[in-house]
Amino acid sequence: MAALLEPPLLRRLEALAVLVRRAVKGQMGGERRSVSRGRSPEFADFRNYTPGDDYRLIDWNAYARLDRFVLRLFVAEEELPLSLFVDLSGSMDWGRPNKAAVARRLAGAIAYVALASLDRVRLTVFAEGPTSGGAPYRGRHAAQELFARIQSFPAGGPTDYSRLVSPITRQRPGMTVVITDGLGTSPVEPAIRALHHARQEGAVLQLLAPQEISLEWTGDARLKDAETGVEREFTATPATQAAYRTALARRTDEIERAAGRHGLRFARLTSDQPIEDMVQSTLRQVGLLG
């Protein structure tokens, strides 16, 4: 099996981090600001000493001024819980380059950025229903296991975004990234709304093939739905091509507006973009990585 991501790219990814807009509450030590108080170089607040507190946190200068014991509290640094939901439905298994293959690489790149910062990464792939990628991953040493796991899932089947609601709502507050083409027959908004209710920061990344954006053929054709298998006669004329582009733009706008209403980042990507360009340019522009 070919490597999901090349070592030179992985080294460059280590200079990035997943960006959050608010403090996070993790379970283990990490490299980002937490909502709890702990030990780090950054001062947070004072409070009065109570029996049982760590006497090493007493501020002796404050004691000399106030004649009472007070503690210096510092910002704790904890891990960020990051969840990746990767669409591997039938519509993703299409295009040049193949959207599912690119989605795996993009998810791997985002995961590696988080793992290099000691964040905890949970992987879920979905089509008709969600499939867990196993226990959470943490640390650079877990990257190859995550890469192998995401490559092991086949692509195919219809998309049902409504079935993502349950696994999303069970998550602790953190960061969630959804990678999908948004082209299933069901609307994406239930999953986006669930992210908001679960107090998830996050992003919806719409991944399309260049052939879906610019139609490459004319004349008569028999089209087959990649997810349902339904076939339909189609004639590519200027009018039908314009109608197709309008429908695609409408679907993209619906996803972007839904993400915006619920405070999520949005980016539209194409499968012919190099992964490093997606990460270093687009995802940094929308504030997901930095």
Single out the residue of 265, 260, 124, 262 nearest to residue 194, CA to CA: 262
In this structure, what are the phi and psi dihedrals at residue 59, rounded to the nearest 5 degrees? -95, 105
Determine what percent of the chain is predicted with pLDDT higher than 90.
58
Give the domains, in start order, of the chain with CATH numbers: 7-16+79-285 (3.40.50.410), 33-78 (no CATH)
Closest CA to 83 of 208, 252, 204: 204
Spatial CA neighbour of 151 closest among 102, 216, 197: 102
Percent of the chain with pLDDT over 70: 85
Q: Is the dihedral of CA 40, 173, 264, 126 positive or negative?
A: positive
pLDDT of 63 strictly over 90: no
Looking at per-residue pLDDT, the higher value among 213 and 34 belongs to: 213
Is residue 30 over pLDDT 70? no
DSSP bridge pairs for 70: 48
pLDDT at residue number 47: 65
199 vs 4, more confident: 4
- Average pLDDT over all residues of the chain: 86
